[in-house]
A and B are shown apart, each in its own frame.
Chain A
Amino acid sequence: MGIESLSKFLKIAKKIDSLIEKSKKFNIESKDLRLKSGDGLLEYSLIAIPQTASNTKGKISFSDIDLHRISIMSYPGFSENQESISRIEGDLTKSFSLDVEKLRTIKCKIDSIVKDLVRRDHQIDSADDEENTYWLHAQIRKLKDLKDALRKVDLLDIPFAVNVAVHQDIKTKFPTRRRRELELIAKWAHEHDRNKKQLISMEHLKLKRKRPKEKEITNVLRDLQNLFIPFRFKSYIEVLKDFNYYDCQRGADFYDKIPFRTFPKWMAVISRTDLTIEKPVSKGELVYKKGLFQESIEKALTKK
């Protein structure tokens, strides 16, 4: 099959099918695959109808299969029927008895399944200085294999982390005199000579006297920091079309020896999308409202 995890999963699914078929108590009517990327679970559901005139008492053991969880839904009504599941001691659920239910859901956990099933791409750098949009694209790699093996495939909440560049915005708005002020404070802190320290303090005072009503630098830094709190930064992000906004956080900056923990250069924005056999592709855009963010920086720098 060429996709390691899918192949592993399909082998498991085949084994489950074969165990149910061998019991000669049920006919498998349909098989569904559903991936919930958020918790990394692959859910395999199959509908098995009792064979007429067959005794549905007894157990089917799944002891050789590494399953995360098994749940049984009774039909009609779709209520979960946990009492008909028996666990093998010290392990996850590995066997259960089949009574009169008709719908059975089996959840198997397989790592890195999204990577193998779905090709994900997004824009890395943006050429436009004024407005930043980042394209997002997802597509199923082996559509036919999935379609042949399963009646239904839902790949849900496929995550995309995009690094949105914010560095130029702070730099553009940060005034030279504020930079000079930071320079003086840092110089003062590193200076050990008392006389030199005093001279630096005088220079700082002189600088402050020129703009007595200007906002305190500590408050400026605090208000700038607040802009990067996820629930505030998300207002500068819009995720369009087939994708939905999920979360954002400070982006890691591994290029710098010390990831600057003062302000981030990037915000990692996480969006999500769904793929199915019927809709094997997703396209979308992440819009970074640069102008609006720059206005907020301006406010953080000046508004008391």
Chain B
Amino acid sequence: MPIKSTFFPKEALQGQDLPSHVTWSDLKFDSIQIHHSTTMKLEELYNVSSEDFEISEGIVKINRVQVKGYVGLVFSTKILPEMSVHQLIEFNFIQNNKVIEKIEFNVHLFRPNIVIHKVPDQIVVNLTSGAITDKILVRNLGKGTAYIELETIKESELQKKRPEFFERFLHDFFEGIKLSMASLKQSFEGQSGLIERIESFLTTPFKFEKKALDELNNLEKDFQVAIEDDEEFAEALNESLAEVFLRSNEVSNLYQFVLDYVNSIGKEKILIRDPFNVVKLSNKPAKLRVKIRSIDLLKQMCTDIELPEVTVIANKESEIPIFKLFQWGK
């Protein structure tokens, strides 16, 4: 067999780059023609000089490779109207206008798809028994993971806030972060720039907005390189964060954080960013107006969803985590 190795991803998030290659030996051909969906775009081509390939709608034609036996490509993809599609990619080796080798790939491109299934006119909260009737049903109909951020808009009578214990914890946590990052910088001088960015990120408010997400993306990429190249640094960073977390906490809060961990994970691959945020209810009905922001694991923003007004009725005055007014997935 002249074809030695082939690769195209079987599945990927919409928006992710798709790498590909074919290697061969003892194969004479006039050109390689690659047929792909027009929703993909050739991003990079390896081992082919700029004058030796042509691009037309959905086709890449390679007339010659530089070093025999290898061609590498990277296609970019984008978010599609369909939440899940299968696309075919064909590599044809052509000689004398005949296909002498044909390789086919099929890639599943998916994304999360957050939809609001049910918004009741009113939600009744029994703060004594914990019963909440008619929750807002949010579903992820797509295959991709969705990170959700809940915002109460300014017209909402009920406004989300952090609970008191969490404010206290954050104060100590931020102080601890500053100290531990300073000492980490001394031990890992080469990583001081990255440490400063991590410190700034952890101690500054952050919302799912394009600029902040781009910065987060860059920070994560650099963090990834750092943990790949320097395991000692990765371990030290992990340990310092864990230490600060434990020091900033009363032991009893640890149970709260385990609870928050469990609460932050919904069904259907929904992750809730801040499950500890609460709204303050009283025995007077109050209007709730919520906006749902979501991102996928490539930190691409999905369309914001603004929910219709809901009246929340409680039997007494108390705080309740806002996520509890929702059912996440079915």
Contact = CB atoms under 8 A, between A and B. Distances in A.
A125 interface: yes
B7 interface: yes
B257 A260 contact: yes
B326 interface: no
A182 B262 contact: yes
B53 interface: no
Contacts of A135: 9-10
Contacts of B241: 259, 261
B42 to A, nearest CB: 14
Given A139-B46, A254-B216, A260-B257, A127 B271 contact: no
Contacts, number: 179
Contact of B255 (A127, A185, A247, A270): A185
A60 interface: no
Interface in B116-158: 143-145, 147
A159 B10 CA distance: 22
Contact of A143 (B66, B228, B242, B263): B66
Contact of B259 (A142, A159, A183): A183
A270 B228 contact: yes
A175 B250 CA distance: 25
A33 interface: no
Nearest to B111: A125
Contact of B258 (A40, A167, A254, A262): A262
Please report whether the interface of chain B is mostly helix, strand, loop or mixed according to DSSP: mixed
B46 A159 contact: no
B7 A127 contact: no
Interface of A: 37, 40, 112, 115, 119, 121, 123-129, 135, 137, 139-144, 147, 159-161, 165, 167-168, 170-171, 174, 179, 182-183, 185-186, 188-190, 217, 221, 247, 249-250, 252, 254-263, 265, 268, 270, 277, 280-281, 283
30 contacts: A119-B19, A121-B19, A121-B74, A123-B11, A124-B12, A124-B13, A125-B13, A125-B297, A127-B144, A139-B19, A143-B70, A144-B47, A159-B229, A171-B267, A182-B259, A183-B259, A186-B252, A186-B255, A189-B250, A249-B238, A256-B264, A257-B274, A259-B245, A260-B260, A261-B246, A262-B254, A262-B261, A265-B271, A270-B227, A277-B67
Contacts of A40: 229
B307 interface: no
Please report whether the interface of chain A is mostly helix, strand, loop or mixed according to DSSP: mixed
Counting chain A CB atoms within 10 Å of each CB, which of B18, B23, B145 scores highest?
B145
A165 B145 contact: yes
B39 interface: no
B74 A249 contact: no
Given A139-B72, A142-B46, A179-B262, 19 more contacts: A112-B225, A121-B19, A121-B74, A123-B11, A124-B298, A125-B145, A128-B11, A135-B10, A137-B9, A137-B19, A139-B19, A144-B67, A174-B262, A185-B255, A188-B252, A256-B273, A257-B206, A262-B254, A281-B5
